[in-house]
Structure 1
Amino acid sequence: MNISQEHIIELIQEYQQGRISEEGFQKLQKWLKEDEANADEFAQYLALFKESGALSNLDQIQKEDAWLNISKSLSKPEKKSKVRRLHTWLPYAAAVVVLFTVGYFMIEQVRTDYDFGKDYNFAEISSIGSKKAVLTLENGQKVNLEENDKELITEADGTLIQKNADSELIYDNASSAKDRVIYNQIEIPRGGEYSLVLADGTKVWLNSESSLRYPVQFVGNKRKVELTGEAYFEVSHNPDMPFIIASHDTEIKVLGTSFNVSAYHDEEHISTTLVEGSVELSCLGNKELLKPGFQATVKKGDNRFKVERVNTNLYTSWKDGVFRYKDQSLEEICHQLSRWYNVEFFFTDHRYREYRFTGAAKKNKSLNFTLEMIEKMADVQFAIKDDKIIVGKPE
């Protein structure tokens, strides 16, 4: 049964709200029965929502028999779908799935020159992100990959660069000269994302406002690339030629594995989240070996790693079209949204920055939906002034 991660989130939300249809209920049961891995994925979402306090009956649900407990906890569906409208904002839930829990903070009065009562269209000053990037060749020539559809590019050493059926950039160096190393750099603007397959078969997903510098073919005893921003790597295994990612003061050394690296120039920390395999991190003379399911964070200019077990889906789902949050501040969420929707946020009071949220949102939907959800679940509102989104609250 082919069902997307986004649709799973929708079904879980509909179930939690008591508004799941008979068709949706049967679809969820069927999907859970098909594979134990599906039940595991479903349980991860339930655990996430449990921690947020958004679900009250999760103690009854266990991973090994999730589908059975669901059928027990729900009343028998009637022939006709019955939808219970809990709030007037529920129609938005099908488009954006956001279950937010909010921390409680004292709120000070804010400035009065922002009209929070107006019905704004945030789509007018933002745009949904898409696949776009600029490739810089060895000779400095820049190629707009959004405009350049299937055109074949030949590098100075004979390496062929083109797009595959999935619009990924791929490198073919079968006929290239191996007497020197030349580099390409791919840059992802705000509101963009892109993926490519390097010459060794390593696949890289690049997030908004990110760049990767890499050789068009790997020679010698190592494969080294330079990253700014965020990327997810699936490294092709080669024990004789380790893969190294350099970012600021940190290097990540791998043989073959899957992991996420976040190293934005405007953020003070570098985070590496390991999905499978193993990686060795080094920073200013200090080293750390990371295991699957763990994340290592280091402050720029420091060499002390903070290592903790995490739900890796929270840090990798962006490449699959979903933003997931767990006890994340509104400031961090707005920072992520600003990159994807290419818009700026301004907070009228620092306390709004510290609101905490747990939930999930689809990347392919308008910013209007996400912001309206936040407004309904939190004591905060959004306005527009001078092409910026203002975060605050009327007096």
Structure 2
Amino acid sequence: MSFSKEDIIGLINFYHQNTISDEGIKHLENWLAENETNADEFANYLALLKESGAISSLTEIKTDVAWSRIIGAVSATKRQSKNRKLHFWLPYAAAVVVMCVVGYLMVYQVEKDYNFDGNYNFAEISTIGSKKAVLILNNGNAMNLEENLDSVIAEVDGTLIQNDGSNALTYKKSSSQQNKLIYNQINIPRGGEYSLTLADGTKVWLNSESSLKYPVQFIGEIRKVELTGEAYFEVAHNKSKPFIIESHGTEVKVLGTKFNVSAYNDEEDITTTLVEGSVQVSSLGNSELLEPGYQAVVKRGRSQFQVNKVNADLYTSWINGVFQFKNQSLEEICHQLSRWYNVEFFFTENQYRNLRFAGAAKKDKELDFTLEIIEKMADVKFAIKDNKVIVGKPN
């Protein structure tokens, strides 16, 4: 008896949703009893689904007699392998992406000139993202940071900017007294990401297709930067100088904290997710004070906020090389994939945009694997036409 990676994921998901058959439980029990490797593999899938948000707690799974035996069998294996951190990412599916279908819509109409039965190599039209950025200095000169590792740049005010071998910028505070703001801007292309430490010690991680404009030295009573795209901030605490992020008319004001802001040009929502501390989000005269684990969403040009309690890890895992999804639409997932892999997605029908998934995907793997797992878990196919990824379904 054998179970594929997708079979295991599906059985866990079906059990969690109370749709698994008695026969499915029996097959699973027999498979687990065959050898310790199977139990170890199953235990790590449970852990991975928990980490990804697809199953928020193992205790949520029913505890009838059959399932209790299964959980008992794998618990010992989990204890034995608790220090093997890399086991969370199993070969093939788990090493690349694990997705569970939350629900889907059936769609039958599709353009006839898209061949969804072809054997496509999506790596030919996509690239895995990497550390790269363009730094715009105060005099307008542009520097390709990908090509200038381990370099030191001097700004006109004496500030030293170090670009180290780990692809991170660090601004060294100038010893001379400054009375005029001098700005730099860092632009992250599609398929790129970068991090930097500002002169006050604030750390910033920038996602693909993002830009940040900031003073090389903060002068005056506030520390203010301008963001387009997505960034994660760990703001250095300074009670006398609030830190302000401005993006599309929305301001996020903090003293010192950890949070994520997403404000892309092609998205209507401006989303602030708080990890630690507190932030005040303001738009058109209205404001909201967030607590850790909460998220504020405001539509561009509006003043009303939607505030929800969320799993902040789902919105910040990208800085650690992982995309995490929980009940996200395929359209939202494809937006993230398109920026990271520098490829365009085209939906043959709007209904496909609403397919919903939970799961996790490692960013250092080829696009092919991610799309293959989505195909296995949902009623959807991917094709290539005119260097675009087509999302649809064969006739």
TM-score by length of 1: 0.82
> Contact 1:235/1:243 (CA < 8 Å) preserved in 2?
yes
- State how 1:287-326 maps to structure 2 within 5 Å: 287-326=287-326
**TM-align CA RMSD:** 3.2
CA contact 1:298–1:304 (8 Å) conserved in 2: yes
Identity score, percent: 62
What secondary structure is seen at the aligned counterpart in 2 of 1:49? coil
> Aligned partner of 1:48: which letter?
G
Q: Which residue of 1 aligns with 2:81?
A: none
CA distance in 1, matches of 2:188, 2:268: 20
Q: What is the CA deviation profile of residues 146-169 of structure 1, one whole-angstrom value per residue up to 9, with x for unaligned ones?
A: 001112110010100012453310
Aligned to 2:342: 342
Mapping for residues 207-286 of structure 1, pairs under 5 Å: 207-286=207-286
Q: How does 1:64-143 map to 2 (within 5 A)?
A: 72-74=72-74, 92-143=92-143
- Superimposed CA distance per residue, residues 215-264 of structure 1 (whole angstroms, 9 cap, x where no aligned partner): 00011111000000000000000001010000011100000000000000
Deviation at 1:42, TM superposition (A): 5.7
Please list the CA deviations of residues 326-356 of structure 1 after superposition, one character each: whole Å capped at 9, or x if unmatched. Answer: 1111111111100000000011111111111
The worse-fitting range, judged by mean Cα deviation, of 41-50 and 356-365 is: 41-50
Separation (CA, whole Å) in 1 of partners of 2:394 and 2:379: 10
Q: Distance in 2 between matches of 1:348 and 1:371?
A: 16
What residue identity is the alignment partner of 2:173?
Answer: N
Please, which of 54, 64, 70 is the counterpart of residue 49 of structure 1? 54
Q: Which aligned segments of 4 or more residues in structure 1 are displaced greater than 6 angstroms?
A: 12-15, 17-21, 23-29, 68-71
Cα deviation, residue 56, structure 1: 10
SS at structure 1 position matched to 2:340: helix
Contact 1:226–1:246 (8 Å) recurs in 2: yes
- Check conservation: 1:159, 1:176, Cα contact below 8 A: no
Indicate how the Cα distance of structure 1 residues 14 and 299 shifts in structure 2: closer, same or farther if over 3 A, else same: closer
Q: Deviations over 1:241-289 (max 9, x none)?
A: 0100000111000000000000001100100000000001111000110
Counting only pairs closer than 5 Å after superposition, residues 156-171 of structure 1 correspond to structure 2 as 156-164=156-164, 166-171=166-171
Q: Is the 8 A contact 1:103 1:355 kept in 2?
A: yes
For structure 1, the 5+ residue unaligned runs are 1-11, 32-40, 62-67, 78-89
1:147 matches 2:147: yes
Distance between the aligned counterparts of 1:176 and 1:143, measured in 2? 25
What is the TM-score of this pair, normalised by structure 2? 0.82
- Give the alignment of 1:358-369 within 5 angstroms: 358-369=358-369
State the shift of 1:49 in Å. 2.2
What's the CA shift for 1:14?
12
Count residues in correspondence.
Answer: 355
Residue 295 of structure 1 aligns to a residue whose secondary structure is strand
* SS of equivalent residue, structure 2 residue 98: coil
- Give me the whole-angstrom Cα distance separating, in 2, the residues matched to 1:195 and 1:210: 12
Mind listing any 5+ residue stretches in structure 2 that lack a counterpart?
1-7, 13-27, 78-89
In the aligned structure 2, how far is the partner of 1:196 from the partner of 1:27? 38
Who is 1:204 aligned against? 204
Q: Secondary structure at the match of 1:232?
A: strand
* 1:101 match: secondary structure: strand
- The whole-number CA distance in structure 2 between the counterparts of 1:28 and 1:219 is 56
Aligned residues of 1:95 and 1:369 also touching (Cα < 8 A): no
| Distance 1:338-1:156 versus aligned 2 partners, 3 A rule | same
CA distance in structure 1 between the partners assigned to 2:208 and 2:35 by the alignment: 37
Q: Name the residue aligned to 1:389.
A: 389
**Inter-CA distance 265–25: structure 2 relative to 1 (3 Å threshold):** same
Establish whether residue 187 from structure 1 lines up as the match of residue 173 from structure 2: no
